Amino acid sequence: MIVTLIVVCEVGFWVLLAAGLATRYLLRMPRTGLALLLMEPLLELVLLVVTVLDLANGAEPSWRHGLAALYIGYTAGHGHRTVRWLDGHAAHRLGGGPPPAKPPRHGAARARHEGRVWLGTAVGAAVATGLLQSAVWYVGDPARTGSLEDWMHTAWRIAAVHGVFALSYALFPKRAPRGSAEAGSGPGPVGAGREPVRPTGRGLG
């Protein structure tokens, strides 16, 4: 049941996202669209409640409960960033706004960007760990909670691998091509080196 609910929550995430963006930019109803987007966390709340009830009803802790915790953690760490990214593209393509700024590709700016993305993964691992540890305490039987503890280790292994990937951009920064705006050192043409204009007055705040 929990695996089915995870699939339902994932499908529901994209359905609500599409409905919210369409309402904001195609139907020109920004407040209603924003309300639909803000309903996204309810999906994770439903999944959390069902998972707790499943354990309360005597279900054996298993990989399904661990997967549910990781899914909720991922949404906590990366869900808002995903929504903002898609909202920026919808504002451009459907709402007539300027193109959303692309992430930097070179140097320290790219390293900072990758670091911020990794922080989302770390937040997700922390949220998943908190949920799993709470389940361990709730069950209160070390002989039955080994799978939940394994999922905690999995969450942090994922965070560690992603951390090494992000750190590589700081240790071995990719240099911008010679003559490009990012590589410029010293005065250049007016506007050179500036970040792309971000959408104003549109998109999520």
| CA distance to 39, 115, 171, 178, 188, per residue, from 174 (Å) | 39, 15, 10, 12, 21
Distance CA 56, CA 90 (A): 42
Residue 188: the pLDDT is 39
Residue 58: the pLDDT is 84
Query: Domain total for the chain?
Result: 1
> Is residue 89 one of the residues assigned to a domain?
yes
How sure is the predictor about 3, in pLDDT bands with cuts at 50, 70 and 90? confident
> Is residue 164 one of the residues assigned to a domain?
yes
> Is residue 180 one of the residues assigned to a domain?
no
Distance CA 156, CA 179 (A): 41
Amino acid identity at 167: L
Q: Which domain holds residue 154?
A: 2-171
Query: pTM score, two decimals?
Result: 0.79
How sure is the predictor about 192, in pLDDT bands with cuts at 50, 70 and 90? very low
> Is residue 152 one of the residues assigned to a domain?
yes
Query: Which of 94, 103, 106, 128 lies closest to 23, judged by CA?
Result: 94
> Is residue 186 one of the residues assigned to a domain?
no
> Is residue 181 one of the residues assigned to a domain?
no
Q: What is the pLDDT of residues 121-145, one digit of tens each?
A: 999 999 999 999 999 999 888 888 8
> Is residue 77 one of the residues assigned to a domain?
yes
**33: alpha, beta or left? (left if phi > 0; alpha if psi -120 to 50):** alpha
The region of weakest confidence among 89-98, 167-176, 181-190 is 181-190
Give the DSSP per-residue string, 51-111.
Answer: HHHHHHTTPPP-HHHHHHHHHHHHHHHHHHHHHHHHHHHHHHHTT-PPPPPPPP-SHHHHH
Residue 176: the pLDDT is 74
> Is residue 107 one of the residues assigned to a domain?
yes
